[in-house]
Amino acid sequence: MKTKSLIAIIFSILVLVVALFLILNKSKKATETSSEIAVGTKLLVNELPLSERPFTVLVPHSTNKLFTFVTINANKALAATLDIEYLSGDLLKGARATLETPISNPYIKAIILGSCSTGGKCSFDKDLKSGALKLKLNFADQKVTHVLKGDFVFITGQNNLPDGKVIFTPSKATTNENLILLNSFGLPKAVNKEILLYPIVISSVGDKSIVGSLSINQAGVTGVEIYDGQNYQPLKYAEKEGVLTIAINNKPWSMKAEITRDDEKGSKESLNLYLLGPIVLYK
């Protein structure tokens, strides 16, 4: 009897120890999860200093079936996600991606303007107009999520950014060119002056000069420069009642890239990405 009582006591103690272990372990996991959720719960939209923002662009493709997303210096972040919305006719389309970590620099990804089935059959969007790009960044030393948000337009479908601040009117020679006008968030090379509005980029599928008139609604500008792939060069402009007019006749600079074509069953493609700008406005 004494032996049975001892066994019962030991068994009860073991049950209590196991139960206590499970409760503590569950509590620990809950605390860890809460901490993970807390990191990045607060969203700061376009509050990241310009010097810390990655230079981010969308570049059209000659097929018009996709564009290439490029971000430079996003590798400073521990994690990043991309959200893109755009209008195809009257329909709102979109794409979402999580940047693989550690984030490569530059980070380059082809994004289909449409959708593909598991069997590999794809359909592509037409009548492309305007869109919005959101890049969410989490940094190691900050318990917030920084959101960079900006607009872009396919110039053949719409020539003004949705905020009404920037309009590009292409010349006859450029009218049918596959161009994207956008806010690039950050800069490929730092400047030592304060910038107004946001960096402006026009991306292209080729090295042909981009010709047209750029109208920017921004008061207080004392100077304008354009990045040529290596340095910033002065750009002439006229100003009237807070509206700048700039005659554009510039060749874009280029960077080499390799993309994965999901619309071509994952095949690789090497290409040049062509960029005019960014154009920066100095206070």
Which residues have C-beta within 8 Å of that of residue 251, sequence separation ≥ 6? 207, 208, 209, 210, 276
8 Å CB contact between 115 and 123:
yes
Q: pLDDT tens across 99-148, in order? A: 998 999 999 999 888 888 777 688 888 888 999 999 999 998 888 899 99
pLDDT of residue 104: 92
Is residue 12 a part of any domain in this protein?
no
Q: How far is CA 157 from CA 104, 160, 185, 218, in A?
A: 32, 10, 23, 24
Is residue 140 a part of any domain in this protein?
yes
pLDDT of residue 260: 87
Q: How many domains does the chain have?
A: 1
Low-confidence stretches of the chain (pLDDT < 70) are: 1-41, 120
Is residue 18 a part of any domain in this protein?
no
Is residue 23 a part of any domain in this protein?
no
For residue 172, give its domain range: 43-282
Alpha helix (H) residue ranges in the chain? 2-38
Is residue 168 a part of any domain in this protein?
yes
pTM check: above 0.95 = no
pLDDT of residue 231: 96
Is residue 31 a part of any domain in this protein?
no
Output the domain CATH number for residue 230: 2.60.40.10
Is residue 25 a part of any domain in this protein?
no
pLDDT of residue 201: 97
Task: Select from 70, 86, 76 the least CA-distant residue to 48.
Answer: 76
Supply angle C-alpha 134, 136, 142, rounded to 5: 150
pLDDT of residue 26: 46
Q: Name the token pair of 94.
A: 């979109």
Task: Select from 93, 74, 76, 94 the least CA-distant residue to 84.
Answer: 94
Q: pLDDT tens across 188-221, in order? A: 999 999 999 999 999 999 999 999 999 999 999 9
Is residue 22 a part of any domain in this protein?
no
